[in-house]
Amino acid sequence: MSAALTIRARPLSAAAFAPFGDVLEASGQPDKVINEGLCDRFHDRARMDFGPGGRAGISIFRATSRALPYACGMLERHPEGSQAFVPMMDLAWLVIVAPDAGGRPGEPLAFLPSPGQGVNLLRNTWHGVLTPLAEPAIFAVIDRIGDTPNLEEFFLSEPVVVTS
Amino acid sequence: MSAALTIRARPLSAAAFAPFGDVLEASGQPDKVINEGLCDRFHDRARMDFGPGGRAGISIFRATSRALPYACGMLERHPEGSQAFVPMMDLAWLVIVAPDAGGRPGEPLAFLPSPGQGVNLLRNTWHGVLTPLAEPAIFAVIDRIGDTPNLEEFFLSEPVVVTS
């Protein structure tokens, strides 16, 4: 029996996350200052994609919290659209993604967002399910609304264990 | 000199807000339970609209906080698209909207969202600027990305005062 793969969660940064998607955050210089100087707009920060026959929608997810170490046994992806996760409160959560390796997920990476950070996953990016580490955990999810299932799941032969 | 109009902010509810837009929240029965029972999906809760030649985008707003009583001197609307505000942390904020009265705003209403509530303003809905009542105040804004200004402002002859 081989030992389970263990990976360490790292802080979420735009540079490390770029191959998988966008970090949604107020960082760097704002693109525009509006409302008589009282509001900074960081403009159009998500590479959104709703595929053929789809449209943008906002759904609300309420998820049960998990704890670290966390055993991730399944990765999924959405072949027809991007998917953004915006936490609606201060909470710790985990973002697990993986590069594609010939139609199945390669070795996963795990990120711990800071308060004020969301993510937008590019279309067809392998990722773990929504994994809050505290409750209540309410997220706005901006993704494709359409008639197709738009979901591919891959069950790992052995879970990947994510530690802090 | 006439006395300024004073209005009282009320708790945000979907029923009261319906003429102006959607309350984005995990309320009632979820439309779907996903992730092996660990996540409730409240599906497609925003009446989004990006007008001709527009597309959906996610921008991040970082706004300066105000305090109650708050003097609202200007209302604006976006003739070419809806606009959703999703708070990315636990914070008090104010939502000011007004019905249209012949091309100018009628008497405004003010709402105080609870934690876990966002709003989506319907296209062409008169509203106040983003008004957090605490900091830091980071919001994800899902609105129309396009080449037109998409903004109409109306300066009130006398500010409306919003109280708690």
Residues of B in contact with A84 (CB under 8 A): 58, 140
> Is A73 an interface residue toward B (CB < 8 Å)?
no
Quick: pLDDT tens for A125-151: 999 999 999 999 999 999 999 998 899
Residue B42's pLDDT is what? 98
Structural domain tally of chain A? 1
pLDDT at B2 over 90: no
pLDDT at B130 over 60: yes
> Is B87 an interface residue toward A (CB < 8 Å)?
yes
**Residue (of B83, B103, B86, B84) closest to B137 by Cα position:** B86
Residue A2's pLDDT is what? 55
How many beta-carbon pairs below 8 A join chains A and B? Answer: 148
Residues of B in contact with A46 (CB under 8 A): 57-58
Mean pLDDT value of segment B134-162: 96
ipTM: 0.96
Mean pLDDT value of segment A83-90: 97
At A4, the pLDDT band (50, 70, 90 cuts) reads: confident
Mean pLDDT value of segment B143-159: 95
Q: Indicate the average pLDDT of chain A.
A: 96
- Using CA coordinates, name the residue in chain A closest to B83: A58
Q: Which two tokens stand for residue A153?
A: 């799941």
Residues of A in contact with B136 (CB under 8 A): 116
At B38, the pLDDT band (50, 70, 90 cuts) reads: very high
Q: What distance in Å separates residue B117's CA from the closest CA in chain A?
A: 8
C-alpha distance from residue A24 to each of A17, A46, A159, B125 (Å): 11, 7, 28, 26
pTM of this structure: 0.96
Q: What distance in Å separates residue B10's CA from the closest CA in chain A?
A: 21
Residue A1's pLDDT is what? 46
Q: What is the CATH number of the domain that holds A124?
A: 2.60.120.480
Give the 3-state DSSP-derived string for B93-131, with helices as H, strands as E and coil as C.
EEEEEECECCCCECCCEEEECCCCCEEEECCCCEECCCE
Residue B3's pLDDT is what? 65
Name the residue facing A44 among B30, B35, B59 (closest C-beta).
Answer: B59
> For A28-150, where are the alpha helices, taking DSSP H only?
none
Cross-chain residue pair A129–B60, CB shorter than 8 Å: no
> Is A140 an interface residue toward B (CB < 8 Å)?
yes
Q: Which two tokens stand for residue A39?
A: 């509001």
Quick: pLDDT tens for B62-117: 999 999 999 999 999 999 999 999 999 999 999 999 999 999 999 999 999 999 99
> Is B71 an interface residue toward A (CB < 8 Å)?
no
> Is A84 an interface residue toward B (CB < 8 Å)?
yes
Mean pLDDT value of segment B27-51: 96
Mean pLDDT value of segment B134-152: 95
pLDDT at A20 over 80: yes
At B1, the pLDDT band (50, 70, 90 cuts) reads: very low
pLDDT at B129 over 60: yes
Residue B4's pLDDT is what? 81
Q: How far apart are the first and last CA of chain A?
A: 25
Quick: pLDDT tens for A104-119: 999 999 999 999 999 9
Mean pLDDT value of segment A81-109: 97
Q: What distance in Å separates residue A81's CA from the closest CA in chain B?
A: 13
Q: What is the distance between the alpha carbons of residues A148 and B12, in angstroms, rounded to a whole number?
A: 34
Q: Which of A88, A130, A131, A143 is the best mutation test for B, with the most CBs of B within 10 A?
A: A88
Q: What is the distance between the alpha carbons of residues B78 and B19, in angstroms, rounded to a whole number?
A: 16
- Using CA coordinates, name the residue in chain A closest to B49: A56
Are the CB atoms for B121 and B83 separated by under 8 Å?
yes
Cross-chain residue pair B58–A142, CB shorter than 8 Å: yes
pLDDT at A3 over 90: no
Which range of residues forms the domain containing residue A29?
5-163
